[in-house]
Amino acid sequence: MRVCALYPDLMNIYADRGNLLMLRRRCAWRSIAFTLTAAGLGEPIDPDAHDLFYLGGGQDRDQRLCALDLVRTKREALHAAADRGALVLGVCGGYQLLGHRYALGGEDIPGLGLVDLETVRSDGPRLIGNVAIEVDLDGDGPRVLAGFENHAGRTHLGSGEPPLGRVLKGHGNTGDSGAEGVRRGSVIGTYLHGPLLPKNAWFADWLISAAVGAGDLAPLDDLLEDAAHAEARRAAGA
């Protein structure tokens, strides 16, 4: 599995690095080769060299820096990667940058335009708390993702743009739409962190399988992982 972490030094709030560690370990336990490449400011990326591109969350200042660099040096490559089916996972601030723009006061921060959405910074209360959503990634029936959300932005999906899931508990994209995240093909965005994958081992495995085309993965002893997932759901009230 070849993973490219975008701006891991800047977009790594809320322990998002744990998502990368989770992928590394679950690959290692199955003897699946794993490589991790970091791409920072001013560094171009090869759209054909990676199976998954990961973009975490960051403070507003860092998000501005990364947004400008994404558009200037990485946008075309990420579009090419997504077009060939490479996974793109954006979490929190990274999710916001997958869309067209993030309106922050009187400033428009440009996005990648990989999905049809825009985010507007609200003067209302931040959307904070434990959250659980119901997702159906492959049409095999719903599963639950649980995590933590903390965002002032309200993310509005374009007409016909499907969310990642339906909010069971928590706020989601806008606090009142009932939708959380976005998924267009291999591009996925979500506000769930805390970090996301250690709380949802099944989703980490889904990403691994989708990235390497492995089909059903060898099962692991997930006693602790299942307990972490159950606790995340309990905290959210789901």
Give 224's contacts (C-beta < 8 A, 6+ positions apart): none
- Is the pLDDT score of 139 beyond 90? no
Q: How confident is the model at residue 223 (pLDDT cuts 50, 70, 90)?
A: very high
pLDDT of residue 12: 85
Q: What is the rounded average pLDDT of the residues 200-207?
A: 98
Catalytic residues: 92, 193
> CA triplet 148, 163, 105: central angle to 5 degrees?
70
- Is the pLDDT score of 105 beyond 90? no
DSSP 3-state of 102:
strand
DSSP 3-state of 210:
helix
Least confident of 35-39, 115-119, 212-216, 220-224: 212-216
Tell me the pairing of strands 52-55 and 87-91.
Answer: parallel
Q: What is the pLDDT of residues 109-130, one digit of tens each?
A: 999 999 999 999 998 999 999 9
pLDDT of residue 169: 98
Handedness of CA 129, 52, 227, 166 (dihedral sign): positive
Instruction: State the Cα–Cα distance between residues 214 and 232, nearest whole angstrom.
Output: 28
Whether the CB-CB separation of 194 and 14 falls below 8 Å is answered with: yes
Q: How confident is the model at residue 133 (pLDDT cuts 50, 70, 90)?
A: very high
pLDDT of residue 214: 78
Which token pair is 180? 């959380």
Give me the percent of the chain exceeding a pLDDT of 70: 100
What pTM was estimated for this model as a whole?
0.96
Give 118's contacts (C-beta < 8 A, 6+ positions apart): 99, 100, 101, 102, 103, 111, 155, 156
Q: What is the pLDDT of residues 8-61, one digit of tens each?
A: 999 987 778 899 999 999 999 999 999 999 999 999 999 999 999 999 998 888
92 DSSP assignment? T
Which token pair is 175? 């606090």
pLDDT of residue 145: 99
User: What structural domains and CATH numbers belong to the chain?
Assistant: 2-236 (3.40.50.880)
Which token pair is 99? 């869309």
Instruction: State the Cα–Cα distance between residues 6 and 238, nearest whole angstrom.
Output: 32
Q: Which residue has the higher pLDDT, 144 or 63?
A: 144
- Is the pLDDT score of 201 beyond 90? yes
Q: Is 58 exposed, middle or buried (0-12, 13-18, 19+ CB in 10 A)?
A: buried
Q: How confident is the model at residue 148 (pLDDT cuts 50, 70, 90)?
A: very high
pLDDT of residue 225: 98
